[in-house]
Structure 1
Amino acid sequence: MTAEATPALVEGAAGPGSTGRAAGRAPRAGASASYLRYVAGRLGGAAVSLLAVLVTSFFLFRLIPGDPVKFMTGGRPVSAQQIAVYRKEFGLDLPLWHQFTDYCGKALTGDLGTSYQFRAPVLDKITEALPNTLLLTVTAFVLYTALGIFLGTRSAWRNGGAGDRLHTGLALTLYSIPSFWLGLLLIIVLSVGVGPVPGLFPTGGMESGGTEGFAYVLDVAHHLVLPVLTLVAVEYGQTLLVTRSALLDEMGSDYLTTARAKGLRDDLVRRRHAVPNALLPTVTLIFVNLGRTVAGVILVETVFSWPGLGGLFYQALSVPDLPLVQGLFFVFAAAVILMNTLADLLYPLLDPRVGR
């Protein structure tokens, strides 16, 4: 009886253990498969969005009034034959459907066409102006993100206090102000000067010229102050409000009460326990804001004559330089889509409940 029972006992002992290990492996495998499906869905959605932007950019900007050929001739009286030559050179004589198929085919290979006004590849003009835009947007992005998180955590931890009311009120006010209006106001006050207050910063541009080395770096930084200040003032409020709201939701959690009961200082409870969990929505917002800042810098660059993608876009619209406008619109939209997609892909890694 003992000999017959032994295999059963061994089998019974092995069975639950094997089941437990298999069950331990299955959720991990299931979680990986679920995340891969989630990634595939988000990447597929991003690809469809980019395709929709490509199509929209072609038809949208053909509604802009204006004749590119008249710009290329400089307003001079020209013959119908010369106009026909210009139209043929840039493919404007082709039927609209033919122009569209050519545009899509070339765009898919990285060819965004040739600028009417610069007579240069659109991609080259974008590559030339992109570093200037990144210098402006990344500097502003780092500053307003850090400022928003810092003030948001302090406002939430002192909810209802004078500092909280001041920070949230100021953030809401600045967030509602148009960036171009604030930029013009800063130029009047800090560049031109008001009354006894002298002008402290340049009215526009990226450099004064005639400098090199460290003096050039200081000159660019001097020109960078006002456009960065404009972007920071307008954008930090959203980060502050989201961080504050997320932290307020965490403050009533049981694990914070336990941490305090263990004798931890209030500052440590906030920094080590509450803030890391509350930053999950803010992490998503950070990626979204980066793409949105790149795309939304048009007005600020135009106001401050900053030689970046935004100023180039405004210049192209005035012609209208259709290939350049279409290419820039695609780049701006792609930046937003890319950052949104990265945020979607990162969030399930921070919070496993998402994407399951």
Structure 2
Amino acid sequence: MASDPVSAPVDKAAGPVPAGPAVRGPRARTTAAYPRYAAAKAGGAAVSLLAVLVTGFFLFRLIPGDPVKTMTGGRPLSAAQLAEYRKEFGLDLPLWEQFTDYCGKALTGDLGTSYQFRAPVIDKIGEALPNTLLLTGTAFVLYTVLGLVLGTRAAWRRGRFADRFHTGVALTLYSVPSFWLGLLLIIVLAVGMGPVPGLFPTGGMESGGKEGFAYAVDVAHHLILPVITLVAVEYGQTLLVARSALLDEMGSDYLTTARAKGLREDLVRRRHAVPNALLPTVTLIFVNLGRTVAGVILVETVFSWPGLGGLFYQALSVPDLPLVQGLFLFFASAVIVMNTLADLVYPLLDPRVGRT
């Protein structure tokens, strides 16, 4: 009778032979270790947020200026009135009590009340956030796609004119200050000193008095110059990282095997080389998203864009301590959260990461 291939071999003297341990591959080990890896990254992010909370509170109290004068518009006040205002906003308390009160409220989402606007800080952030997301989101999509496409093409044509040209332009623009480029674009394309005077508005988000489709066109018209500024300054980093990652893959054996199978060169690049080369850029994409939201202050200030960056500059010039602290915490949190998301996504794409 034929033996059962499923049953374990039996030794009459020693009994059944125990089956050996199951062989676990890299992805199985990564899956098992992932919760511990994710918990470690989340803990690190929480510590970073706490450090930002502490730093933001003490750092901005070094700014010269009297918050009470900010609240009252600088008009003369009696000693009793000054004491009343300080008590109303908790400025009469010792510094450590102010700090503990600030931390306790911040952990519940209460970032205080703006001295300048007499409104909750969280409400002011909520009002300006959509405008910033419109600007940064549009720029982020454009400079990410542009950097990836040009970077992979430059690497595949390494040493040719296209490679040298795109790399040189990317390095040049990446080193240009965003505020300087923005001012240059305003001079050339907005105020009438360039070949096409008055082609774009000098600042703001809308001209006013328009509705519906005309309003959308007006906003898009105001959006062009700040988006060009952000894209020009930011796309170079993505291009350089994508180029470097693809160059590291081009000598791999699996590409030689793909060519030996008769695949066309464009298929080798699109289906094999580029997907593996994109792994290092995942982290960069997440980091850039957080950094763009936090780093848009100069661009929004130059173009008078009514977003978080312009609000931060306005609050800093007063100074409006609750608003400055709230915006600082929001900007830093955006960077920390995006970094953490990049760390959490990367092991899912590359099992070698987070294996232990």
Scaled by the length of structure 2, the TM-score of the pair is 0.94
- What is the identity, as a one-letter code, of the residue corresponding to 2:174? Y
Match of 1:32 in 2: 31
Please state which structure has a larger fraction of its residues in helix: 1
Mark the CA change 1:7 to 1:218 in structure 2 (over 3 Å): closer, same or farther. Answer: same
Mark the CA change 1:190 to 1:196 in structure 2 (over 3 Å): closer, same or farther. Answer: closer
Mapped to 1, the partners of 2:161 and 2:80 lie a distance apart of: 73
Q: What do residues 185-237 of structure 1 show as CA deviations (whole Å, max 9, x unaligned)?
A: 01101111225422211100011111111111111100000010000000000
- What is the identity, as a one-letter code, of the residue corresponding to 1:110? G
Mapped to 2, the partners of 1:261 and 1:244 lie a distance apart of: 24
- Structure 1 residue ranges, 4+ long, deviating more than 6 angstroms after superposition: 9-14
Shift of 1:30: 4.1
Match of 2:257 in 1: 258
The answer to whether residue 103 in structure 2 is matched with residue 114 in structure 1 is: no
Match of 2:11 in 1: 8
Match of 2:137 in 1: 138
Mark the CA change 1:151 to 1:25 in structure 2 (over 3 Å): closer, same or farther. Answer: closer
- What is the identity, as a one-letter code, of the residue corresponding to 1:207? E
Shift of 1:73: 2.0
- What is the identity, as a one-letter code, of the residue corresponding to 2:278? L
Match of 1:42 in 2: 41
Task: Give the total of aligned pairs.
Answer: 347
Instruction: Give the 3-state SS of the residue equivalent to 1:305 in structure 2.
Output: coil
Shift of 1:309: 0.5
Which runs of structure 2 are paired with 1:320-335 in the superposition (5 Å)? 320-335=319-334
1:149/1:240 contact within 8 Å kept:
yes
Mapped to 2, the partners of 1:101 and 1:255 lie a distance apart of: 58
1:348/1:355 contact within 8 Å kept:
yes
Mapped to 1, the partners of 2:319 and 2:303 lie a distance apart of: 22
Mark the CA change 1:12 to 1:60 in structure 2 (over 3 Å): closer, same or farther. Answer: farther
Mapped to 2, the partners of 1:344 and 1:186 lie a distance apart of: 37
Shift of 1:137: 0.5
Shift of 1:28: 6.3
1:67/1:319 contact within 8 Å kept:
no
Match of 1:52 in 2: 51
Gaps of at least 5 residues in structure 1 are: 1-5
Q: What do residues 146-187 of structure 1 show as CA deviations (whole Å, max 9, x unaligned)?
A: 000000001000001111111001100100011011100011
2:10/2:16 contact within 8 Å kept:
no
Mapped to 2, the partners of 1:11 and 1:31 lie a distance apart of: 37
1:309/1:328 contact within 8 Å kept:
yes
Mapped to 2, the partners of 1:133 and 1:322 lie a distance apart of: 21
Q: What do residues 119-140 of structure 1 show as CA deviations (whole Å, max 9, x unaligned)?
A: 0100000011111000000100
Match of 2:346 in 1: 347
Match of 1:299 in 2: 298
The answer to whether residue 288 in structure 2 is matched with residue 289 in structure 1 is: yes
- What is the identity, as a one-letter code, of the residue corresponding to 2:41? R
Mapped to 2, the partners of 1:192 and 1:200 lie a distance apart of: 8
Match of 1:3 in 2: none
1:152/1:244 contact within 8 Å kept:
yes
Match of 1:176 in 2: 175
Mapped to 2, the partners of 1:28 and 1:151 lie a distance apart of: 32
- What is the identity, as a one-letter code, of the residue corresponding to 2:157? R
Please, what is the CA RMSD of the aligned residues? 1.7
2:67/2:320 contact within 8 Å kept:
yes
- What is the identity, as a one-letter code, of the residue corresponding to 2:11? A
Mark the CA change 1:223 to 1:12 in structure 2 (over 3 Å): closer, same or farther. Answer: farther
Which runs of structure 2 are paired with 1:210-225 in the superposition (5 Å)? 210-225=209-224
Shift of 1:7: 3.1
Shift of 1:75: 2.0
Mapped to 1, the partners of 2:328 and 2:99 lie a distance apart of: 16
Mapped to 1, the partners of 2:26 and 2:16 lie a distance apart of: 22
2:70/2:320 contact within 8 Å kept:
no
1:250/1:274 contact within 8 Å kept:
yes
Shift of 1:32: 2.6
Match of 2:72 in 1: 73
2:63/2:319 contact within 8 Å kept:
yes
Mapped to 2, the partners of 1:37 and 1:60 lie a distance apart of: 34
Scaled by the length of structure 1, the TM-score of the pair is 0.94
Mapped to 1, the partners of 2:197 and 2:281 lie a distance apart of: 39
Q: What do residues 252-308 of structure 1 show as CA deviations (whole Å, max 9, x unaligned)?
A: 011111111111111111000000000001111000000000000000000000000
Mapped to 1, the partners of 2:194 and 2:123 lie a distance apart of: 45
Mark the CA change 1:124 to 1:352 in structure 2 (over 3 Å): closer, same or farther. Answer: same
Mapped to 1, the partners of 2:22 and 2:84 lie a distance apart of: 73
- What is the identity, as a one-letter code, of the residue corresponding to 1:322? L
Mark the CA change 1:195 to 1:318 in structure 2 (over 3 Å): closer, same or farther. Answer: closer
Which runs of structure 2 are paired with 1:146-157 in the superposition (5 Å)? 146-157=145-156
Shift of 1:33: 2.9
Q: What do residues 13-67 of structure 1 show as CA deviations (whole Å, max 9, x unaligned)?
A: 864xx32xx4236976643331111101000000000011011100000001111
- What is the identity, as a one-letter code, of the residue corresponding to 1:246? A
2:30/2:354 contact within 8 Å kept:
no
Mark the CA change 1:174 to 1:96 in structure 2 (over 3 Å): closer, same or farther. Answer: same
Mapped to 2, the partners of 1:194 and 1:188 lie a distance apart of: 6
Mark the CA change 1:105 to 1:268 in structure 2 (over 3 Å): closer, same or farther. Answer: same
Mark the CA change 1:318 to 1:28 in structure 2 (over 3 Å): closer, same or farther. Answer: closer
Mark the CA change 1:12 to 1:350 in structure 2 (over 3 Å): closer, same or farther. Answer: farther
